[in-house]
Structure 1
Amino acid sequence: MLRQVLQTVEAAEGPITLSELSRRLNIAPGALAGMLEHWAQRGRLTVDGGSACACADGGGCGSCSGAAVCPFMARLPRSFVAVQTIERRDAMD
């Protein structure tokens, strides 16, 4: 099952969320989260923390001094991306 999770993330065109992966594989999100953590710890996946600020792209709203206090901060779902083979090889060197 672990291998199937990794293969599904690798086959995805871009980041994939836990809920989408759960739906595709018909695995409970709680069980799937542990499997994804396994692959992330082994360097096979990267995890996007999932937050975005409307002014973070340089537009600047001028009302905040940082993302921790920004009133326009949105919590996005975490997403997962397979690490490419070349990136993994570079990290091991």
Structure 2
Amino acid sequence: MKGFIRNVTLLLMLLALPVIASAEVVNINKADAQTLASELKGIGASKAEAIVKFRQEHGSFTSLDQLTLVPGVGDKLLSRLRPMLSLDSD
């Protein structure tokens, strides 16, 4: 029975791998509102527009933590999105 459970668990992990690997990293300093909303789960049109507006008013983000200054983006959401975000300026 242990072997069966282990094999089922391994199979499920292997099936999930393409989904995990396909997650794109989004550059919050370059992405437009449409890209933010479509690529980041939990970011709808209004939050995406707020992120772009904040960036236009305050300049590029220098830290992912600055996203919590955007209305509607809290610590919990940022924690979940952090692996999918980039600050690259090139």
TM-score by length of 2: 0.31
Structure that is richer in helix per residue: 2
Which has the higher Rg, Structure 1 or Structure 2? 2
More strand by share: 1
